[in-house]
C-alpha cells in the first residue's frame, strides 16, 4: 500500500498490526455491511497517520475490497492520506492533527453512559505515544477521569519513537503509568505484539466499571521488518519498491522461518 502510495508512515502501522488484528477480529463488535449499525462498538483513531493499518484491517474484515487498498493516498480515493469520516463508511472520525481522538471517543462514551443508557457498547481509541505531547490529550484524560467513563478503552502505542527521535529525548513521557493513574484511569500494560494479551487486556478493561481504562501497549515500531524496527527515521516515510519487496518477504515468511507461496514475488 505504502509503496504504491509513494509516501506515508511505515513504522507506526507495522507496530500496530497486532493490535488492529485483535481489534477487528476479536474485540470490536461491528457489521461491515451495516457500518452505522446502532449496536456497534465504536473505534476512533486518534493518531490518524497510522491509518494504513486500519484500512488494511477494515478491508480484511469486509468493509471494502482489498484491491482498493492500493488507492491509498491517490486522487479520488476513499482512502485519504489521513482518515476522513465522510469519505469511507466505517470510519467514525476525521483525524490527523494529533491529540483530538481521545476527546471524541470520550464524547461518544459520555453519550453511551449518561445520555443513551446503553451499557453494552464500548468505545475504543488508539493513540500514539508521541501524540501524548499534546495538551488536548490531557484535557480529555481529566474529563474521562472526572466522569468515570467506564465504556471508554484507550490504547497507547508505546513504541518510544516520534519524528524527531526517541520519545524520552524529545519530551519524556515517563512515569506514563503514574500519569494516567493520577488522572483517574485504570492502567493495563501489555506486550502489544501478543494478540492474546491485547484481547485479554481489552476484556479486563471492559470489566472495570468505575473508571476509564488505558492499555499501554509496548510495541516495536516497524515490527517484523528488521531494517525498520526501532528506527525513528521510518516514522514518516514509505518503502521503495525494493524495500517493500524485502519487507513483505520478511513478514510473509516470519523472517525466513516459514515458506509462503507468494513470498518470492
Partner 1 sequence: MSHYPLNPDLFSDDVAMEPIRAGFGRGLRAAGEANDRIVALCADLTESTQMHLFRDAFPKRFIEIGVAEQNLVTVASGLARAGKIPFTSSYAAFSPGRNWEQIRTTAALNNQPVKIIGSHAGVSVGPDGATHQMLEDITLMRVLPNMVVIAPGDSIEAEKATRAIAENGKPSYLRLAREKTPVLSVPESPFEIGKAYVLREGSDISLLGTGTMTYQLLKAAESLAEQGISAEVVHVPTIKPLDNQTILVSARKTGRVLTAEEAQVNGGFGGAVAELLSEQLPTPLKRVGMQDRFGESGTPNELLEYFGLTADGITKDVTEFIQNTSQYHQEY
Interface residues with partner 1 (CB under 8 A) are 42, 44, 84-86, 92-97, 99-100, 103-112, 114-116, 135-136, 139-140, 142-143, 146
What is the rounded CA–CA span in Å between residue 160 and residue 136?
20
Nearer to partner 1, 3 or 131 (CB): 131
Element (H, E) at 182: helix 176-182
CB 75 → partner 1: shortest distance, Å? 18
CB 129 → partner 1: shortest distance, Å? 19
Element (H, E) at 54: helix 51-61
CB 73 → partner 1: shortest distance, Å? 17
Nearer to partner 1, 138 or 230 (CB): 138
Give CA separation, 13 vs 6, 18, 19, 199, 236, in Å: 15, 10, 10, 18, 11
What is the rounded CA–CA span in Å between residue 208 and residue 197?
17
Return the C-alpha cell found at 235. Answer: 516514522
DSSP secondary-structure letter at 23?
I
CB 106 → partner 1: shortest distance, Å? 6
| C-beta atoms surrounding 25 within 10 Å | 13
Nearer to partner 1, 10 or 80 (CB): 80
CB 156 → partner 1: shortest distance, Å? 18
Nearer to partner 1, 34 or 203 (CB): 34
Nearer to partner 1, 15 or 48 (CB): 48
Amino acid at each position: 500500500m505504502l509503496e504504491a502510495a509513494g509516501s506515508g508512515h511505515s513504522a507506526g502501522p507495522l507496530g500496530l498490526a497486532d493490535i488492529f488484528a485483535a481489534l477487528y477480529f476479536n474485540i470490536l463488535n461491528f457489521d461491515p455491511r451495516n457500518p452505522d449499525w446502532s449496536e456497534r462498538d465504536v473505534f476512533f483513531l486518534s493518531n490518524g497517520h497510522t491509518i494504513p493499518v486500519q484500512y488494511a484491517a477494515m478491508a480484511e474484515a469486509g468493509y471494502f475490497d482489498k484491491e482498493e487498498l492500493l488507492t491509498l493516498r491517490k486522487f479520488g480515493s476513499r482512502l485519504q492520506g489521513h482518515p476522513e469520516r465522510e469519505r469511507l463508511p466505517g470510519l467514525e472520525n476525521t483525524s490527523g492533527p494529533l491529540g483530538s481522538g481521545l476527546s471524541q471517543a470520550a464524547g461518544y462514551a459520555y453519550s453511551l453512559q449518561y445520555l443513551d443508557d446503553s451499557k453494552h457498547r464500548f468505545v475504543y481509541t488508539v493513540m500514539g505515544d508521541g501524540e501524548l505531547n499534546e495538551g488536548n490529550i490531557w484535557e480529555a484524560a481529566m474529563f474521562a477521569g472526572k466522569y468515570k467513563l467506564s465504556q471508554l478503552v484507550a490504547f497507547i502505542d508505546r513504541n518510544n519513537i516520534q519524528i524527531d527521535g526517541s520519545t524520552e529525548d524529545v519530551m519524556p513521557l515517563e512515569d506514563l503509568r503514574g500519569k494516567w493513574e493520577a488522572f483517574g484511569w485504570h492502567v493495563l500494560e501489555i506486550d502489544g505484539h501478543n494478540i492474546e494479551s491485547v484481547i485479554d487486556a481489552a476484556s479486563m478493561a471492559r470489566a472495570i466499571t468505575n473508571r476509564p481504562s488505558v492499555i499501554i501497549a509496548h510495541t516495536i515500531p516497524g515490527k517484523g521488518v528488521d531494517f525498520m524496527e526501532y528506527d525513528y527515521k521510518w516514522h514518516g516515510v514509505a518503502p521503495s519498491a525494493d524495500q517493500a519487496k524485502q519487507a513483505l518477504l520478511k513478514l510473509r515468511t516470519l523472517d525466513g522461518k516459514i515458506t509462503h507461496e507468494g513470498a518470492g514475488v
